[in-house]
Amino acid sequence: MRLYGRLPMPAGMRRFLREGLKGWHPSLFDWLSKTINSQPRLPIGGDAPGLADVIERPEFRVRLWRLVRAVRAHADQFGPVTHLIALPFFATGGSEATAASFARTICSDGKSSVLMIATDRPYSGKRLPAPPGALMLNLWDYFTLEDEHTIDAVVFAVLRAIAPQSLHIINSSACWRLVVKHGARVRHVSRLYGSIFAIQVNTQTGQREGYAADYLKGALPYLDALLSDNASFFKLSEQAFGSLGDPDKLVTVYNAAPVWSEKIVHHTDTRLAELTRPIAPMDRLQVLWAGRFDREKRPDLLIAAAKARPDIDFHVYGSVIVDVNSEFSTTDLANVHIHGPFSSAADVAGARLHHVMMFTSLWEGMPNVLLEFGSLGVPIVANVLGGVGELIDDTTGFPLSSSPSVAEYLAAFDVIRTDPATAVARARRLREKIAARHTRANFETAVRRIPGYLADTPPAGGT
pLDDT at residue 59 in the model = 84
The overall longest dimension of the chain from CA atoms, in Å, is 74
Which residues of the chain form CATH 3.40.50.2000?
A: 41-256+443-448, 262-438
Comparing 45 with 357, which gets the higher pLDDT? Answer: 357
C-alpha–C-alpha distance, residues 23 and 29, integer Å: 9
Determine what percent of the chain is predicted with pLDDT higher than 90.
72
Q: Which comes out higher in pLDDT, residue 41 or 70?
A: 70
Give the range among 10-14, 49-53, 371-375, 415-419 with minimum mean pLDDT: 10-14
Residues 288 and 313 sit within 8 Å (Cβ to Cβ): no
Q: What is the pLDDT of residue 327?
A: 58
CA 387 remoteness from chain centre: 13
Of 290-299, 380-389, 405-414, the poorest mean pLDDT is in 290-299
Q: Any idea which of 56-65, 80-89, 436-445 has the lowest mean pLDDT?
A: 56-65
- Please check the confidence at residue 164 and state whether its pLDDT lies above 50: yes
Region 245-259: mean pLDDT is 96
What pLDDT band is residue 169 in, cutting at 50, 70 and 90?
Answer: very high
The span from the CA of 224 to the CA of 237, in Å, is: 18
Question: Is the Cα dihedral 251, 89, 184, 164 positive or negative?
Answer: negative
- What confidence tier does 20 reach under pLDDT thresholds 50, 70, 90? low
Q: Is 50 left (phi over 0), alpha (psi -120 to 50) or beta?
A: left
- Rg of the chain on CA atoms, in Å: 23
Which pLDDT score, from 0 to 100, does residue 243 have?
A: 96
Q: Which amino acid is at 104?
A: R
Q: What is the pLDDT of residue 323?
A: 55
Q: What is the pLDDT of residue 94?
A: 85
Our measurement of the distance from residue 143's CA atom to the centroid of its chain's CA atoms, rounded to an integer in Å, reads 25
Are the C-beta atoms of 281 and 256 separated by less than 8 Å? no
Confidence of residue 57 (pLDDT cuts 50, 70, 90): confident
11 exposure class (CB count in 10 Å sphere: 0-12, 13-18, 19+): middle
- Tens of pLDDT along 313-351? 999 998 765 655 555 666 689 999 999 989 899 999 999
Strands (E), 166-207: 166-170, 191-195, 200-201
Q: Is the pLDDT of residue 42 over 50?
A: no
Q: What is d(CA 372, CA 383) in angstroms, rounded to the nearest whole number? A: 17
Residue 139: the pLDDT is: 95
Long-range contacts: 215-221, Cβ < 8 Å, 24+?
215/173, 215/176, 215/177, 215/179, 215/180, 216/241, 216/244, 217/241, 217/242, 218/179, 218/180, 219/176, 219/179, 219/180, 219/183, 219/192, 219/194, 220/244, 220/245, 221/183, 221/463
Nearest to 4 by CA among 37, 28, 48, 53: 37
Distance separating alpha carbons of residues 398 and 403, to the nearest angstrom: 14
What contacts 233, CB < 8 A, 6 or more positions away?
A: 196, 197, 198, 199, 212, 365, 386, 387
Give CA angle at 146 (152, 88), nearest 5°: 55
Q: Flag whether pLDDT at 48 surpasses 60.
A: no
CATH of the domain spanning 262-438, picked from 2.130.10.10, 3.40.50.1370, 3.40.50.2000, 3.30.70.20 = 3.40.50.2000
> Which is more confidently placed, 57 or 418?
418
Domain 41-256+443-448 falls in which CATH fold? Answer: Rossmann fold (3.40.50)
**Average pLDDT of span 292-303:** 90
> What pLDDT does residue 52 have?
61
Lowest mean pLDDT among 18-22, 222-226, 328-332, 458-462: 458-462
Residue 244, φ and ψ in degrees, nearest 5: -100, 5
Residue 23 pLDDT > 60, yes or no?
yes
By the 8 A CB rule, do 86 and 175 touch? yes
Does residue 122 carry a pLDDT above 60? yes
Q: Render pLDDT for 149-160 as a digit per residue (tens, 0 to 9).
A: 899 999 999 999
The pLDDT value given to residue 160: 94
Q: Quote the pLDDT of residue 6.
A: 40
- H/E stretch holding 285 reads none
Mean pLDDT over 254-280 rounds to: 95
Residue 186 has pLDDT above 60, yes or no: yes
Indicate the DSSP class of residue 445: H
Distance CA 194, CA 216 (A): 9
3-state helix, strand, coil in the chain (%, to 5): 45, 15, 40
Confidence of residue 31 (pLDDT cuts 50, 70, 90): low
